[in-house]
Amino acid sequence: MATDTKPVLIGMTLDELQGIATRGGMPKFVGRQLAEWLYDKRAVSFEEMVNISKKNKEWLAANYAIGREKPVRFTKSTDGTVKYLFAAGPGSTVESVYIPDKDRATLCVSSQVGCRMNCYFCATGKMGYKGNLTAAQIINQILSIPPAPQKGQPPMTPLTNVVFMGMGEPLDNFSEVIKVIDILTAPWGLAWSPKRITVSTVGKLPQLKDLLDRTQVHVAISVHTADMAERESMMPAQKAFPLASVMRVLQAYDFSHQRRLSLEYIMWRGVNDDIAHAEMLVKLIGSLECRVNLIRFHAIPGVDLHPASEERMLMFRNYLNSKGITATIRASRGEDIAAACGMLAQTKGC
């Protein structure tokens, strides 16, 4: 994050902040005050923390940094989507995507620099794995946007939702992602409902089960084809985390009420867009309560795949609906700035 070598405070839990307070000879409650300033009031300097004594602020400033960093730059799509570039250590950057939609605004958050899942159709996977982000680097993406609008521009809608669908496999960086979820949902943090958070994964086990046991966030599984040999050829993670094993884990949880399970399905022309594939998907789902998000493929360099036609996508959706499965075609956002699904790799705009 920052060039300052001091440890940073954002990304720390209440217990960690209280530990810092006691090490500095302060009352334990100062840790809770720090949490309020960092997460609720979003302070960017110790000077803003008016209910903490000058002596204590001087000690904190001498030993710690807040850790907040603005985006390096950002690019805006014609559809209102904004892609942000954040520093992520020496020579590394990651992208986040802000997606406004009427009175809602969703931030697509990154959890790694690159990704080791190496899915054939994903630009981030083509980067290879460069490293995990810290909880501070992840939460900074959330705390530091949207920035104040430029002069003459309308105000941006405050964030209502966060999806861990940016660069990286969130469950491959589980310890840091779970800390961020804790900060987002805890009363001492941002106090969000977990229903405002979605974690997308290829189905990495056993971390998926840990996520389901420890949180109530929504979960999205990257399926893309129910033909297992085909999936393994596209997604090497299928070999390590077979989809059949993932589905067995999911069957043990209740998704019939507020918590939502989504299956992500990118559609490629002549590959997975026919009735035979729809039938395989219906069989895979069985009685599991879920919804299917059908996603348009966004072309990336070096990948010999093409988007399915609108007609095929409608046919596929209607077939799933006829079998009692809720399926929708996800609107594509930010493709003109390489901010759409599967395109994050710092190749355009940012």
Give the residues across from 65 on adjacent strands.
8
- H or E element, residue 136: helix 135-143
Tokens of 281: 């998907």
Q: Give the length of the chain.
A: 350
In 136-223, the DSSP E strands lie at 161-164, 197-201, 218-222
DSSP 337: G
DSSP-assigned letters across all residues of 206-234: THHHHHHHH---EEEEE-S-S-HHHHHHH
- Using DSSP's 3-state secondary structure scheme, residue 243 falls into helix
Which structure tokens are listed for 118?
Answer: 């190496």
Q: Is residue 341 annotated as part of the catalytic site, yes or no?
A: yes
3-class secondary-structure state, position 280: helix
Question: Of the listed 95, 169, 176, 264, which one is catalytic?
Answer: 95
What is the rounded CA–CA span in Å between residue 334 and residue 117?
Answer: 23
CA angle 83, 84, 88 (to 5 degrees): 140
Take residue 61 and report the two structure tokens written for it. Answer: 């400033």
Contacts of 246 (CB under 8 A, 6+ apart): 203, 205, 208, 221
Answer whether 208's CB lies under 8 Å from 251's CB.
no
- For the question of residue 290 being annotated catalytic, the response is no
**Helices and strands, number each (H, E), in the chain:** 12, 12
User: 119, 290, 341, 350: which one is catalytic?
Assistant: 341
Q: Peptide bond preceding 236: is omega within 30 degrees of 0, i.e. cis?
A: no
Q: Are 263 and 290 in contact (CB under 8 A)?
A: yes
Q: How far is CA 179 from the centre of its chain?
A: 13
Q: What does the alpha-carbon distance between residue 341 and residue 330 come to, in Å, rounded to a whole number?
A: 10
Q: What amino acid positions are annotated as catalytic residues?
A: 95, 341
